Amino acid sequence: MVYASADEWLNAPHKRVLVYGMSGLGKTYLSNMLRDAGDWFHYSIDYRIGTRYMGEFITDNAKAHAMKVPFLRDLLMSDSIYIGSNISFHNLTPVSAYLGKPGNPDKGGLPIDEFRRRQEQFRGAEISALQDTTYFIDRAEALYGYPNFICDTGGSICEWVDGENPDDPLLTELSARCLLVWIKGDEAHTEELIRRFDRAPKPMCYQPEFLDKVWAEYLEENACNEADVDPDTFIRWTYAKALAHRKPRYEAMANWGVTVSANEVSRLHTASDFDQLIATALERAG
């Protein structure tokens, strides 16, 4: 690890961390808190995905829908209007809206092959954004003078790495420059995340093998075909299975850094609080 002890962390002139874990456990809360402290650069993987790697896909999809409306088509063809996504750190909806949900088009669903194609686009985009972390560490200091850096990852990072492989290329690259910090939830957190998702289901990215498995299981269990699938029902049905699928993958990544609990993160209010928590986590890691 880049910080071998609590003292080394506390005395480091440059603190660089990457936080990961299930969406909704405090990664962005923590990142915003540190950014507001004034000397932390916040690198959002999802924002980078939406602006650098999938921005054109998102905009072209919006244009394709607009082209179906004669009034808007005429304005687009004459360059009279501009269509773009208003993505921000606090509004990443354009990314999830583009990912979509598989199922009945009349209910807002996508054909499964198109859904798989967009999933693959996202997978490549997320890996590329993660690989940009080193560039942004250097850029944040050289261009803006930030001594400290936090990488706020998406919940699907665990799908693209193998924590049990000591030579995993992406984890090797990231851990060479950042302290990897797993924000771990307990069973109560998982139940709350499921309740929250059930109230407002949002598109997410799945490992291809996992998606193929749950899609086939859903069709068989409900004795339906692709055109009969209610998109929201499917992703609600899949969510708890996705969390269970990701849990051991997060656990395998834990050896690459330190672990803190979501409850510990929820009690943080200042950058100093965070420093002490990481020091404690390093001591626990031995």
Query: How many CB atoms are closer than 10 A to CB 133?
Result: 22
pTM: 0.94
Per-residue tens of pLDDT for the chain, all 286 residues: 899 999 999 999 999 999 999 999 999 999 999 999 999 999 999 999 999 999 999 999 999 989 999 999 999 999 999 898 888 777 888 899 999 999 999 999 999 999 999 999 999 999 999 999 999 999 999 999 999 999 999 999 999 999 999 999 999 999 999 999 999 999 999 999 999 999 999 999 999 999 999 999 999 999 999 999 999 999 999 999 999 999 999 999 999 999 999 999 999 999 999 999 999 999 999 7
What are the two backbone dihedrals, phi and then psi, of residue 95, each rounded to the nearest 5 degrees? -70, -50
Which are the contacts of 265, defined by CB distance < 8 A and separation ≥ 6? Answer: 25, 26, 29, 30, 183, 277
Q: In the prediction, which pLDDT does 89 show?
A: 75
The superfamily (CATH) of domain 14-58+85-276 is P-loop containing nucleotide triphosphate hydrolases (3.40.50.300)
Sorted by where each begins, the domain ranges of the chain are 14-58+85-276
In the chain, helix, strand, coil percent, each to 5? Answer: 60, 10, 30
Which are the contacts of 189, defined by CB distance < 8 A and separation ≥ 6? Answer: 22, 25, 262
